[in-house]
Amino acid sequence: MSETSLLVGPFNRVEGDLEIRLEIAEGRVTAAYTNSPMFRGFERMLLGKPPLDALTITPRICGICSISQSVAAARALADAAGIAPAPEGARVAALLHAVENMSDHLTHFHLFFMPDFARPDYAGRRWHDRAVARFTAMEGSALKAAVEARARLLHIVGLLGGRWPHTLAIQPGGVTRAVSMRDKIRIGASLKAFRDYLEGVLFGAPLEAFAELDSIDRLKGWDRGDVALFLEIAADLDLARAGPGPGRYLSFGAYPGPDGPAFGRGIWAGGVAGPLDTGAIAEDISHAWMLGETAHPREGDTRPDETMRAGAYSWCKAPRLDGRSFETGALARQVIDGHPLALALADEGGVRARVAGRLLEIARTQRVLEALAGAINPARPFMAAVELPQEGAGEGLVEAARGALGHWCRIEGGQIASYQIIAPTTWNFSPRDATGTPGPVEAALEGARVAGGEDTPLSVQHIVRSFDPCMVCTVH
Amino acid sequence: MQLHSGENRPSEEGQHLSQIETFYDVMRRQGITRRSFMKYCSLTAAALGLSPSFVPKIAHAMETKPRTPVIWVHGLECTCCSESFIRSAHPLAKDVVLSMISLDYDDTLMAAAGHQAEAALQDTIEKYKGNYILAVEGNPPLNEDGMYCIVGGKPFVDQLKHAAEHAKAVISWGACASYGCVQAAKPNPTRATPVHKVITDKPIIKVPGCPPIAEVMTGVITYMLTFDRLPELDRQGRPAMFYSQRIHDKCYRRPHFDAGQFVETWDDENARKGYCLYKMGCKGPTTYNACSTVRWNEGVSFPIQSGHGCIGCSEDGFWDQGSFYDRVTDLTQFGVEANADKVGMAAAGVVGAGVAAHAAISALKAAQRKTQSDKEEA
């Protein structure tokens, strides 16, 4: 009587399709199985194509994080050619990428995550009326303001990249658009307008004040903007303890510059920071409908198992580092960058920590954007000459909004001979591995409360969305 | 307004909806002022290329006609179409159009989840049988009985057929729904199939592009909601008002093409002067879309303006035409002034059926590909 199984999905307000099977006993989730029910086969389409086609094809994996894919592809090809992009080009690519990540964070908070608190299920809570007014799906006042601010911020991508999504300007050697002094001023104006929005609406105070928070107590004391509403809800619903992840975080390092990435690279496990060895990455396919062996993405393959064999339950492979699952995303990036608030949140590791980590990153990324834009020198070259090799291999490691994204490419006879992609949500939403260890979300869902009669448990919704899943990237 | 999202709503509102609302009612209820409404009508007329004398007609139609419900579904895709849509140029137009369609079903933006969402879809279909517009983003994969895209435990192709059965018309958003797009790239691992190959008994309007321009999307949907009919379509089923012009003909760099001034390598001196990108593989000469006039991200720019050639993403098969950086070689074969309609008509003349024209054009293109360099074998 007390043991039941529940299939939750499709999920709305996540990018792409997702289904989760829950085993429930005594009002708690005892086991979760995530399935990414959409497979398109990008890694197969790329085979035999001219290597530069990856710049056009891989961004189309995802219409939300297309620049991340574009930057990763450009880096993988540059790596194969053994060249570095022109410094100004790299700067503009980082600027474009940071704008997209910022937009995604804004989208997640307003369009995907917060609307759940406007549900009638929460009627009667002291914050509910405000949540309804601000965050009701598609019509809350905060949503409209965020969508408009985001559209204006994306003018920068429009200006430098021609359009968003599916920008074409980012190349292995840099960017196709040389930035003029006039462009630089327009970018500065767009960034100023965005800062005004963030400080006036989302945070209700200077971003620096939020970025300076260094403890959970100080975070809890934040009483301005929509951030305060989130924190109030989080305290009332105890979101701090909902959905703790594996406690291991991974980041490839975001926005590389001459002095290293703006947000550092590395891992953090069991309270200890460490270096990242990408050679220790392997994709386990024991529970995926894929054929082949566990392999490093350099040697990996993507052959769907059309029999959809029993025992497997997802199209998603299970990436592991040294055989262990890792959580990736904004919180992970901030933890690995060593920010004191993020380190405090890392121990907490639940829904509140993920969302607060994202807000912290918004506050900090604005300064990164301003620094990148300010440093552009219009007189210098924006593109280095690149000769792609007939034979070669390269890796492109970037940080998308949702976490670590890697492209591994091998060129033979002037054509793509192998192309493997591990997306952030592949890490976070991976199925079990050969040892039976669940993926980060599967682990986070264990213990989630399920009230009687709930067929789409609210706690599960909050936990899943706190990761900001992008399912179209997960299985590509 | 998630009336159909399965959430508890006060019953009096349910009764209110049983009467037929006009668009104007809906907008006013969403807090849009009369002044904004009139502004919206002017913008719409302008976007659709109609004269100012149409403004009162649009206003009258919106005030008196019952609103047309829209169901928006997603198959194999990347959501770039939705992403494009929600940042259309005039926040007003976006708000108004979103307020019109938000009453119904969109599984990316709506509030409900899981079984509630499925119920909402079913409710909307039942309630507006024969009256709603089905907007499709993405396409169904047909291999292995459609198992590569499962929505609510069933193949997406089933959801699509079910939703289309009682639709008044179907909008194929983007290259995915219109032509298949990248997931249909060789070897098309999942047999991703465009909507018109699966739904054959409904009027279908294709709005290709990867993604389509936001203003084109709002323009098309507004036209259909306002005038209750499809806009004029070209031979490929695209709205002529947005797809009748070649990128190349309206390109601000065209004078440089005519003068023989070309970018030779990325970021060379010619690139900084804004010369033509033809030699860098620009597909503007064979692509029909409004990018060079309407532009992107609220009219800021478009790919050619960013110094990168057009990749022809609104054309059938753009993803499998050889390298994106090869020069267009079929210019001379078609003749510089040939357009898609002429090609389409010639093909239709041969086979005698508009439906087959599409396949014939693809065959033509395949034949042309063979005349190109041989590195495209794979």
> Does the structure show a pLDDT above 70 at B377?
no
Say yes or no to pLDDT of A329 above 90.
yes
B7 contacts in chain A (CB < 8 Å): 119-120
pLDDT at res. B155: 87
Q: Where in chain B is the domain with CATH 4.10.480.10?
A: 245-376
User: What single string gives the DSSP state of each residue in A250-272?
Assistant: EE--EEEETTEEEE--EEEETTE
Chosen from A55, A60, A148, A380 to mutate, greatest number of chain B CBs within 10 A: A60
DSSP 8-state assignment for residue A108: I
Judge: A168–B311 Cβ closer than 8 Å, yes or no.
Answer: yes
Contact B307 A177 (CB under 8 A): yes
Reported confidence tier of residue A8, pLDDT bands at 50, 70, 90: confident
Q: What is the pTM of this model?
A: 0.85
Is the Cβ pair A45, B183 closer than 8 Å? yes
Least confident of A446-460, B92-106, B283-297: B92-106
Mean pLDDT of chain A, nearest integer: 93
Distance from A458 to chain B by nearest Cα, in Å? 10
Q: Say which residue, A471 or B301, is predicted with more confidence.
A: B301
Contacts with B141 from chain A: Cβ below 8 Å: 39-40
Cα separation of the two ends of chain B: 50
Chain A: closest CA distance from residue B304 (Å): 7
- Locate tokens 């959905």: which residue? A243
What percent of chain A lies above the pLDDT cut of 70? Answer: 98
CATH numbers and ranges of domains, chain A: 3-474 (1.10.645.10)
Least confident range of B199-208, B277-286, B352-361: B352-361
Where does CATH 3.40.50.700 sit in chain B?
Answer: 11-242
Would an 8 Å CB–CB cutoff place B77 in contact with chain A?
yes
Higher pLDDT, B373 or A467: A467
Does the beta-carbon distance from A12 to B113 stay under 8 Å? yes
Q: Over 50: is that where the pLDDT of B15 sits?
A: no
Which of the two residues, B94 and A125, has the higher pLDDT score?
A125
Mean pLDDT of B57-77: 81
Taking CB atoms within 8 Å and a gap of at least 24, the contacts of A179-188 are A179/A88, A179/A92, A179/A376, A179/A378, A179/A382, A180/A378, A181/A378, A183/A159, A183/A378, A184/A373, A184/A376, A184/A378, A186/A155, A186/A159, A187/A95, A187/A156, A187/A159, A187/A160, A187/A373, A187/A376, A188/A373, A188/A374
Question: Would you tell me which residues 322-341 of chain B have a C-beta closer than 8 angstroms to some C-beta of chain A?
Answer: 322-325
List B residues 305-324 in contact with A (Cβ-Cβ < 8 A): 305-309, 311, 313, 319, 322-324
Set of chain B residues whose Cβ sits within 8 Å of the Cβ of A154: 87, 297
pLDDT, residue A18, reads 84
* pLDDT > 90? residue B278: yes
Tokens in use for B183? 């997931």
Determine the Cα–Cα distance for residues A348 and A444; give it in Å rounded to an integer.
12
- Cβ–Cβ gap A17/B151 under 8 Å: yes
Please state the separation of Cα B307 from the chain's center in Å: 24
Better pLDDT: B161 or A475? B161
Mean pLDDT of the region B165-176: 92
Is A390's pLDDT higher than 70?
A: yes
Contact at CB, B323 and A415, closer than 8 angstroms: no
Q: Are the CB atoms for A473 and A66 separated by under 8 Å? A: no
Q: Which residue has the higher pLDDT, B128 or A87?
A: A87
- Return the pLDDT at A380: 96
Residue the block writes with tokens 């004269």: B51
Token readout for B335 is 């003749």
Provide the shortest C-alpha distance from residue B16 to chain A (in Å): 20
* Cβ atoms of residues A47 and A417 within 8 Å: yes
Residue B133 CB partners (closer than 8 Å, separation 6+): B68, B69, B70, B71, B167, B168, B169, B170, B171, B221, B224, B225
CA distances, A140 to each of A111, A132, B21, B214 (Å): 10, 7, 22, 22
A chain contacts of residue B211, beta-carbon cutoff 8 Å: 63, 165-166
A4: enclosing H helix or E strand: strand A3-8
Give yes or no for a contact between A359 and A229, defined as CB atoms under 8 angstroms apart. no
Query: Which residues in A lie closer than 8 A to residue B108 (C-beta atoms)?
Result: 12-13, 15
Give the chain B residue nearest A170 (alpha carbons): B308
Determine the pLDDT at residue B350.
Answer: 34
- The CA-atom distances, in angstroms, between B319 and each of A231, A449, B181 are 46, 46, 7
User: What was the pLDDT predicted at B154?
Assistant: 82
Q: Which residues 228-257 of B are in CB contact (within 8 Å) with A? A: none
Six-digit token pair at B352? Answer: 């005698």
The identity of residue A103, as a single letter, is S
What is the CATH architecture of B245-376?
Answer: Irregular (4.10)
Contact status of B98 with chain A (Cβ, < 8 Å): yes
- Residue A78 pLDDT class (50, 70, 90 cuts): very high
CATH architecture of B11-242: 3-Layer(aba) Sandwich (3.40)
The predicted model gives B30-55 an average pLDDT of 78
Contact A36, A429 (CB under 8 A): yes
Q: Is B270 on the interface with A (CB under 8 A)?
A: no
Considering only CB atoms, B152 lies closest to which of A10, A161, A174, namely: A10
How does pLDDT run across B332-349, given as a tens digit for each residue? 433 344 444 444 343 333
Residues of chain A contacting B115 with CB distance shorter than 8 Å: 455-456
Alpha-carbon distances, residue B159 vs A179, B107, B236, B264 (angstroms): 47, 12, 25, 49
Contact across the interface for A49 and B109, Cβ inside 8 Å: no
Q: What percent of chain B has pLDDT over 90?
A: 28
pLDDT at A227 over 50: yes
**What's residue B342's pLDDT?**
46
Interface of B with A in 186-205 (CB under 8 A): 186-190, 192
pLDDT value of position B193: 93
Give bridge partners of residue A267 from the DSSP assignment.
Answer: A250, A274
pLDDT tens, residue by residue, A132-147: 999 987 678 898 889 8
Partners of residue B303 in chain A, C-beta under 8 Å: 162-163, 167-169
Cβ burial of A5 (10 Å; 0-12, 13-18, 19+) is exposed
Count residue pairs from A and B with Cβ separation < 8 A.
Answer: 252
B272/A13 Cβ within 8 A: no
Q: Has residue B99 got a pLDDT over 70?
A: no
Q: Is residue A183 over pLDDT 80?
A: yes
pLDDT at A207: 98
- Structure-model confidence comparison of residues B115 and B342, the more confident one: B115
Question: Which of B78, B94, B300 comes nearest A62 by C-beta?
Answer: B78
Interface of B with A in 145-164 (CB under 8 A): 147-153
Q: What is the pLDDT of residues A22-39, one digit of tens each?
A: 999 999 999 999 988 888
